[in-house]
A and B are shown apart, each in its own frame.
Chain A
Amino acid sequence: DTAVSQTPKYLVTQMGNDKSIKCEQNLGHDTMYWYKQDSKKFLKIMFSYNNKELIINETVPNRFSPKSPDKAHLNLHINSLELGDSAVYFCASSQDRVAGNTIYFGEGSWLTVV
C-alpha cells in the first residue's frame, strides 16, 4: 500500500519528445513536491504545491509544467525533452509546509533522454 506512488519508474525517450510523470499520494497530505536528482545524486526542489496551489517554482525551464488536478495528485509534464533532462525525478508529500513535517518520497522515476 504505497503512500506516494509515481509512474512510470523507468522512461527512455528521444530528444524532442513530450512526456509526463504521474504522482499520487494517499496520505491525505496538503503539500506535494517534485525534486530532481542529477547524476551526482544531488537533490533539488523543482516545484511545490499546497492544496493545488503552486507555492514554489524554482528556476526550471518553461518546458517543465506541473499540474495538480486535486491535492492528492501532482503530475509533471515535460515538453521538448533535452539530453540534460536525464535524471531521477522524485515526487514527495508532507502534511503541510515541509520545514516542520516529515516528508514522504515516491520511489523515483528514472528518465533517460537519448
Chain B
Amino acid sequence: KNEVEQSPQNLTAQEGEFITINCSYSVGISALHWLQQHPGGGIVSLFMLSSGKKKHGRLIATINIQEKHSSLHITASHPRDSAVYICAVGTSGSRLTFGEGTQLTVNP
C-alpha cells in the first residue's frame, strides 16, 4: 500500500462542474504539495500547504492534519483543466512521496 493514496484515479466531468480530488497519507508530514502535469508532460506546482486552506483563482486546496487528508477543488471547471493532478507529501528533509495521480478530463 502506497503511503500516499489519491482518489479517484480517473475523473471525467462536464465543463462548469465542481471537482474534488482527494489525497490521504499515512506518514507524518512537513508539508503537502499539489502538482499538475499537463498532457505535454510538464509538471507545475499548484499549492504547498501545511495547514488550513489555500486558494488560487478557481483552485482551492485544503488539508486536515489530524485526519491526514487533503482535497483539491476546482470550481467552474474548464477543458483546459484537463491534466493529471498529483498529491505529494514532504517527509524528512528533501524527500517527497507521490501519489499515483488523478487523471482529470473536462469535456466541453
Number of interface residues of A (CB under 8 A): 28
Residue of A nearest to B44 (CB): A105
* Interface residues, chain A, with chain B CB atoms under 8 Å away: 31, 33, 40-45, 48, 50, 55-56, 88, 90, 92, 94, 97-105, 107-108, 110
* Complex CA–CA separation, A102 to B84 (angstroms): 18
Q: Does B1 have its Cβ within 8 Å of any Cβ on chain A?
A: no
**For B33, what are the chain A residues with a Cβ–Cβ distance below 8 Å?**
102-103
* Interface residues, chain B, with chain A CB atoms under 8 Å away: 29-31, 33, 35, 37, 41-45, 48, 50, 84, 86, 88, 90-96, 98, 100-101
Task: From the candidates B50, B84, B90, B100, name the one contacting A98 in the complex (CB within 8 A).
Answer: B90
Task: From the candidates B45, B86, B91, B95, name the one contacting A43 in the complex (CB within 8 A).
Answer: B86
* Complex CA–CA separation, A60 to B96 (angstroms): 16
Q: What's the least CB distance linking B69 to chain A, in Å?
A: 18
Q: Assess the A102–B45 pair: CB atoms within 8 A.
A: yes
**For B91, what are the chain A residues with a Cβ–Cβ distance below 8 Å?**
99
Task: From the candidates B43, B48, B84, B94, name the one contacting A97 in the complex (CB within 8 A).
Answer: B94
* Complex CA–CA separation, A39 to B78 (angstroms): 27
Task: From the candidates A33, A105, A107, name the one contacting B94 in the complex (CB within 8 A).
Answer: A33
